[in-house]
């Protein structure tokens, strides 16, 4: 897989947005999924895969995580802010758990290139390294699913699953895992749980093999996987233009936590965010 390096806002816009209208809709809309990372060296790994667990115990951890989340989220039958109850499907529990930070096999993506750029440039402690936006043709991945999932998608004339479709087609996560001998991946749109999901134009990918590497699978399946590297020297420009465009934590994470994160970065001095020259090298005068 070849990586494309961008060194400015304009270069990023040229790469991430379509230059010509879609051949069917004749609209300037991309059907890709985007994922931004603060460090370009980070692979596409789920929070579950990054969870340090005891050797030989990993295959059991996912069930324990979800079971405990389900148990304590309902607090013995009480209601959560999402009106959760024990009748929820595995898919709905998995979605809410991911949304609230539980390690799961889900991976966060977005329909929006700007939101992906936000996550590639939001963490100022990583301004000294290149960031990345991963781009994937989600419909191609979905149409490589087993026929029991793929055929209803074609009948609906859409390229993306919804939570309701998954609940109807494959009721449980264990059923999903048993649908094919070889691993497969699908993208689905979560319900509008809250403003954060809506404002981030969120979608999730989920793998039938919880331990399989998402980036390796997407590349092997020729899903037009692309890695757009955000040069560290361009992060400050891109970050400031995102802020001025209203793509900030204040919008993407509504509430006081998001507001505080945005204000903190807004008043950070530019010199603290610019990449530092390598030891022994002096900055050239312009």
> How do 226-230 and 3-6 pair as beta strands?
parallel
- For residue 151, the tally of other CB atoms under 10 A from its CB is 12
What is the structure's pLDDT at 279?
61
What integer pLDDT is reported at residue 164 of this predicted model?
Answer: 93
Q: What is the pLDDT of residue 285?
A: 43
Helix axes 113-121, 9-16, angle to 10 degrees: 140
Low-confidence ranges of the chain (pLDDT < 70): 75-86, 277-286
Q: What is the rounded CA–CA span in Å between residue 177 and residue 93?
A: 16
Q: In 10 A of CB 156, how many CB atoms?
A: 12
Closest CA to 143 of 223, 227, 35: 223
Q: Is 21 exposed, middle or buried (0-12, 13-18, 19+ CB in 10 A)?
A: exposed
């Amino acid at each position: 897989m070849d990586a494309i390096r961008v060194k400015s806002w304009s270069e990023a816009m040229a790469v991430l947005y379509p230059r010509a209208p879609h051949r069917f809709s004749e609209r300037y809309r991309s059907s890709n999924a985007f994922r931004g990372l603060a460090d370009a060296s980070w692979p596409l790994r789920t929070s579950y895969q990054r969870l340090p667990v005891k050797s030989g115990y990993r295959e059991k951890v996912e069930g324990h995580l979800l079971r405990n989340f389900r148990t304590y989220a309902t607090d013995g039958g009480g209601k959560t802010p999402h009106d959760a109850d024990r009748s929820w499907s595995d898919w709905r529990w998995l979605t809410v758990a991911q949304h609230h930070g539980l390690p799961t096999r889900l991976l966060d993506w977005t329909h929006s290139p700007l939101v992906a750029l936000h996550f590639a440039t939001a963490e100022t402690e990583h301004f000294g390294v290149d960031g990345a936006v991963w781009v994937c043709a989600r419909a191609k991945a979905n149409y490589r699913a087993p026929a029991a999932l793929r055929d209803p998608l074609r009948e609906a004339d859409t390229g993306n699953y919804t939570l309701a479709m998954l609940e109807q087609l494959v009721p449980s996560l264990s059923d999903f895992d048993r649908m094919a001998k070889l691993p497969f991946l699908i993208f689905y749109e979560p319900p509008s749980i809250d403003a954060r999901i809506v404002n981030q134009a969120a979608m999730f990918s989920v793998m039938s093999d919880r331990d399989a590497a998402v980036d390796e699978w997407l590349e092997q399946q020729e899903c037009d996987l692309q890695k757009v590297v955000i040069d560290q020297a361009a992060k400050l420009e891109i970050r400031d233009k995102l802020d001025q465009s209203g793509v900030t934590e204040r919008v993407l994470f509504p509430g006081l936590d998001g507001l505080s994160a945005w204000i903190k970065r807004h008043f950070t001095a530019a010199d603290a965010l610019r990449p530092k020259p390598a030891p022994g090298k002096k900055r050239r005068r312009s």
